[in-house]
Amino acid sequence: MATALLSLLQQSWQELQKIPFNPLLSLVFVIPFLYVFKRSRSVKPNLPPSPPKLPIIGNLHQLGTLPHRSLQALSNKYGPLMFLYIGSAPTLVVSSAEMAREMMKTHDIIFSNRPQSIAAKILLYGCKDVGFSPYGEYWRQARKISVLELLSIKSVQSFQYVKEEEVEVLINKIRDTCLKGGAVNLTEMFITTSNNISSRCILGRKFEEENGKSRFGELSRRIMVLFVAFSFGDFFPSFGWIDVLTGLTPSLKAISRELDALFDRVIEEHQTQNSDDDQSNKLDFVEILLRLQKKSTLDFELTNDNLKAIIMDMFVGGTETTSTTLEWLMAELIKNPNIMKKAQEEVRRVVGKKSKIDENDINQMDYLKRVLKETLRVHPPAPLLVPRETSANVKFEGYDIPPKTRVFVNSWAIQRDPTVWERPEEFLPDRFKDNPIDFKGQDFDFIPFGGGRRGCPGLAFGVTSVEYAIANILYWFDWKLPGDNVRGEDLDLSEVNGLTVTLKTPLHLVPTLHSP
């Protein structure tokens, strides 16, 4: 039987060899075969729901001027997990606590990369910082230095004297205005104070203009706006040259040169001055990093560009989020006078007739801490957490998420989710009474500072600055809006978008000195 089958095959092969070769006929048979083979091998990925997109621009037109609000509206229609195309960039939007938890816990490593934006490359020395560097060994080492050497509880406490001195300067400025009468621009004052605190802690001294404003004040807000400015190169790589024509690339390079020159000067000053007295409780971040740079125990080379990128990270992250949180907190207190009264009563009861508020006093101000929590819930400084990027294919909530997908976690939408928060649009600090939920990255219903490996390492530094400043603001002064018949509820809380979202109109208030 086997011999007969072999003989039949041989005869068939001999007959085929007699047929003259016809390339056209071969293509007729081969092309359909290859098409069917390709279709059978390529399975269309099961992507999350997506709004209809337009050619070329994808879903870009649906983002609006306040993307966190636009994406919340889309997620209400298409679900808490959406797949968009921002230009040619595949983008995943996460808008629920459950999915944020799965992302930052179960799949945290795959979701721990960062997209390399044009702004981050230019401003952060090729993304050699902590916040925007790619996930890997360098990031682990740089973050370790930041957490252990710069932002530890011990380090934060060692800079308490700086916060006290700068807040005292702020209080004295407001007191002078009280004597003259009139309103103060609290937005501007908060920016100056937070920038001066960061300047002294990071660079060793503050940089003020002749009018008393922080030199970094305007720079930091420009940087935050430029970070989220639309870049053709980010979403249409072939059209990156258009960023030169729009002025984005020249603006980024100009501000980068300005900051680089300043950082070089600061580093040179630190290197030339005698810092061997080892007053470790008075060391600023630059001095700490320079000492680490001299050591041979580091697992990577800490070049001056690495050092400057980390400094830039700390400065931008530490100033803008602090001033923005203070601005929103005071705006909500003005809009809610009963909450303002209750907060002031607690602060003044705890402090008594002392001339200075100390750290122990702050720890007793439970209601003030609830006010801060509610401010961070309603107005997270960065409503769309700094974007992540997938490093590999991942099965997420039953969907196929490709590698190199940008991921936005809409903390603003999560913290206003009516299935989690009762009356989510209202400012109600007492929702945190006897409620253990916190903003340290473990409760995914409440993630103003992110979570997982990419959570904000400077949380303690920023929160302590806000608590100390607002306690003094409420202790020493009573506040109202300018004008005789203007009520708190008339205050406009319109937003303007940046890497942080701030009040569209600066906060001008009239202070009245309170006598303890």
Confidence (pTM): 0.87
- Pull the structure tokens for residue 87: 């230009």
Q: Which residues lie below 8 Å from residue 216, measured CB to CB, with a gap of 6+?
A: 195, 198, 199, 207, 315, 319
Three-state secondary structure readout of 288-309? HHHHHHHCCCCCCCCCHHHHHH
The SS3 assignment for 84 reads: strand
* Partners of 18 in beta bridges: none
Residue 331 reports pLDDT greater than 80: yes
In a domain, 210, yes or no: yes
* Structure confidence at residue 279 as a pLDDT band (50, 70, 90): low
Amino acid present at 23: P
Judge whether 335 and 493 are in contact, CB under 8 Å: yes
What does the alpha-carbon distance between residue 134 and residue 115 come to, in Å, rounded to a whole number? 8
Q: What is the pLDDT of residue 489?
A: 80
In a domain, 251, yes or no: yes
Count structural domains, the chain.
Answer: 1
Judge whether 411 and 383 are in contact, CB under 8 Å: yes
Report pLDDT digits (tens) over 285-329: 999 889 888 876 667 788 899 999 998 888 777 788 899 999 999
Report pLDDT digits (tens) over 66-121: 999 999 999 999 999 999 999 999 999 999 999 999 999 999 999 999 998 999 99
Per-residue exposure over 270-299, b if at least 16 CB sit within 10 Å of its own CB, e if not: beeeebeeeeeeebbbbbbbbeebeeeeee
End-to-end CA distance of the chain: 111
* Structure confidence at residue 227 as a pLDDT band (50, 70, 90): confident
Report DSSP letters for 163-230, one per residue. HHHHHHHHHHHHHHHHHH-S-EEHHHHHHHHHHHHHHHHHHSS--B-TTS-BHHHHHHHHHHHHHHS-
Among candidates 359, 337, 290, 311, which has minimal Cα distance to 458?
A: 311
Judge whether 340 and 479 are in contact, CB under 8 Å: yes
Whole-number Cα distances in Å, 101 to 96, 325, 445:
9, 25, 9
Q: What is the pLDDT of residue 360?
A: 92
- Pull the structure tokens for residue 159: 């800079």
Among candidates 212, 206, 133, which has minimal Cα distance to 176?
A: 212
In a domain, 445, yes or no: yes
Ligand-binding annotation for 456, yes or no, is: yes
What does the alpha-carbon distance between residue 504 and residue 495 come to, in Å, rounded to a whole number? 5
Q: What is the pLDDT of residue 169?
A: 95
Report pLDDT digits (tens) over 454-490: 988 888 888 999 999 999 999 999 999 998 767 778 8
Q: What is the pLDDT of residue 428?
A: 97
Residue 427 reports pLDDT greater than 80: yes
In a domain, 11, yes or no: no
Burial class (CB in 10 A: 0-12, 13-18, 19+), 213: middle
* Structure confidence at residue 440 as a pLDDT band (50, 70, 90): confident
In a domain, 15, yes or no: no
Residue 235 reports pLDDT greater than 80: yes
In a domain, 314, yes or no: yes
Q: Where are the beta strands (DSSP E) in 73-189?
A: 81-86, 89-94, 184-185
The SS3 assignment for 465 reads: helix
Per-residue exposure over 402-438, b if at least 16 CB sit within 10 Å of its own CB, e if not: eeebbbbbbbbbbbbbeebbeebeebbbebbeeeeee
Report pLDDT digits (tens) over 5-60: 345 445 544 544 554 544 444 444 444 444 444 444 456 889 999 999 999 999 99
Q: Which domain holds residue 402?
A: 60-513
CATH number at residue 211: 1.10.630.10
The mean pLDDT value of the chain amounts to 86
What does the alpha-carbon distance between residue 346 and residue 425 come to, in Å, rounded to a whole number? 25
Judge whether 431 and 422 are in contact, CB under 8 Å: yes
In a domain, 17, yes or no: no
Residue 407 reports pLDDT greater than 50: yes
* Structure confidence at residue 401 as a pLDDT band (50, 70, 90): very high
In a domain, 83, yes or no: yes
